[in-house]
Amino acid sequence: MITYKPLWKTLIDRDMKKMDLVADGTLSRGTLAKMGKNEKVSLDVIERICCKLHCKIEDVIVYYED
């Protein structure tokens, strides 16, 4: 199982909102909705987030074994 909880925490720590990533073109609304449901997104999306936030992949996503 994957979760994007680290991303939500990273955004809070930077005083940002999820929609900021949509507003600046990093994410589409559909991708943000998928992430909100912990659904899989492409590695390209994760890379764009990391580039935008200047953070590590573990600041965006974490994988848990079921």
What's the rounded Cα separation, in Å, for the pair 47 and 57?
A: 8
Please write the tens of the pLDDT for every residue from 6-64.
Answer: 999 999 999 999 999 999 999 999 999 999 999 999 999 999 999 999 999 999 999 99
For residue 27, the model assigns a pLDDT of 97
Rounded to two decimals, what is the model's pTM? Answer: 0.91
Question: E strands, 1-66, where?
Answer: 2-3, 62-63
Whether residue 66 has pLDDT greater than 90: no
Domains of the chain (ranges plus CATH)?
2-63 (1.10.260)
For residue 16, the model assigns a pLDDT of 97
Give the contacts of 1 (CB within 8 A, at least 6 positions apart).
38, 63, 64, 65, 66
